[in-house]
Amino acid sequence: MDSLTQPDPYIKHVTTLGDIQQIVSTEDILNDEGVNLVKQGTRIDSSLYERLVRHKLLRPLDNSLNVENAVTPLSLLTDAKRLLASEPELERAIDDSFIQRDILTPLGTIHLEPQMAFKLTVCREQSIDRYNHMIRIALVALYIAAHLRWSSVERHDLATAGIFHDLGEMHLEPTLFDRSKPLTLAQRRQIYSHPTIAYLFLREFPTYHPRISFAVHQHHERLDGSGYPKGLAGDDVVPVARLLGAAELLTVIRLEQKNSGNRLFSTAEVLKLNTERFGCETILPLIEAAKRIDKAASTTPQNSVTNKTTLQARMRLLVEILQGAKGIDVDGDEEMAAFISNHLERVEGMANRCGVDLNAPAELLAIIGDDDQAVSELNALVQEMIFLVQSTAREALRRWVKDEIPEQDQEPLTKWLRNAELALHSAGFQSEGVTETL
């Protein structure tokens, strides 16, 4: 990032950490014109923030600093064991027979370049939730790889990519991750940049480029082309990225949800609905993991009258949004219209394959009656359909719509996209959806 126009939030993380943990410059820190900003051997803390943030640095900050108590492969292994011991659902998700050789061993043998060890340390100390999230993703992805009988080399790459995959977010403003209010297109594009940010610093290391760097860059790509940042599809998405994405799916919809035992939908049902996005062989081990978790939790829907009322309202909202897209004049927007049409047809196809008439929610719920399992499965279907509509709108806005176009000058299809996004946010779908993460 050019700190003259947009300060890199990572510098704030580093200097703030320096107030409580010793960070020392291992070389002179120069700006891009060769001016010495910080001499070798200087203790780094928040008093140096303004000096560092005002300049574009000649070399990445990580190259010039050393931190005490840095992350090591052994500490990663220890932290992974800590999470497994303290989070019963994470432990249940992973088959015991795979734990040591196929899952923990790759984590404990990751090669950490000093710069990446430094960045991981900053993440651990300044953003522990993100640090723990990356460890969970690595553990779950390694569980999938063990089922698929990946080689030790492949599992090592997977563990490394998993531990690094969200480090790009450390260079984004923390306020972007406040899910209580809708994001502008510009803000959403910043969030979508985090895989690219991580790729750019990983590609500088022969140890990580191209195998690890490509996987990290693609961890939000999907087999059906619905992902980002490039909209890759099929075999263009590397296998390590596919497993990271699938692992993130289970982690976000279940393992990181508070009060996950009191839920209306089955985790396994949501996973089944995502087969096209991640691949059948990748999803199957996760379905087995979800069944173990659900069985142990003994989930029973509560307040079914309220839940069914909410479900009926969601179905009506979904129908209104889908119907609103039909009959719109798409002249000049053919490429965007084809993208939206393809994904909305998939949404409606999901309902048709399940024999669900979205236009008659009250009648459908009356037929279901007090069958909690049927209500659970229907809710999972509707939640996933809403997420697909939401992600389609967001991806189309990202790819084809410019922020600066006034509302009165927007094409009808663009107005529909914005209205759909606003309607879903107003209805309480404030995060990236039930099956996606930032």
Tell me what pLDDT residue 430 has. Answer: 55
Tell me what pLDDT residue 409 has. Answer: 62
Determine the Cα angle at 155 with ends 282 and 127, to 5°.
Answer: 90
Tell me what pLDDT residue 165 has. Answer: 97
Instruction: Mention every residue, 6+ apart, whose C-beta is less than 8 A from residue 163.
Output: 76, 107, 110, 120, 134, 135, 138
Q: Which of 119, 110, 113 is nearest to 74 (CA)?
A: 110
Q: For residue range 149-178, what is the model confidence (pLDDT) as tens digits?
A: 999 999 999 999 999 999 999 999 988 887
Q: Where are the domains of the chain?
A: 9-67, 73-297, 305-426
Q: Which fold, 73-297?
A: Hypothetical protein af1432 (1.10.3210)
Beta bridge partners, 38, equal: 29
Q: What is the DSSP letter of 6?
A: S
Q: Would you list the DSSP string of 262-284?
A: S-SS-HHHHHHTTHHHH-HHHHH
CA 290 to chain centre: 19
Q: Which of the residues in the chain have pLDDT under 70?
A: 1-5, 180, 258-265, 298-307, 327, 329-333, 403-410, 428-438
* Spatial contact of 293 and 92, defined as CB atoms under 8 Å apart: yes
- Find the helix or strand (DSSP H, E) in which 37 lies: strand 36-38
How many CA atoms lie within 13 Å of 215's alpha carbon, on the beta-carbon side?
A: 26
Distances (CA, A) of 299 to 98, 263, 289, 404, 415: 26, 7, 15, 47, 41
Tell me what pLDDT residue 350 has. Answer: 77
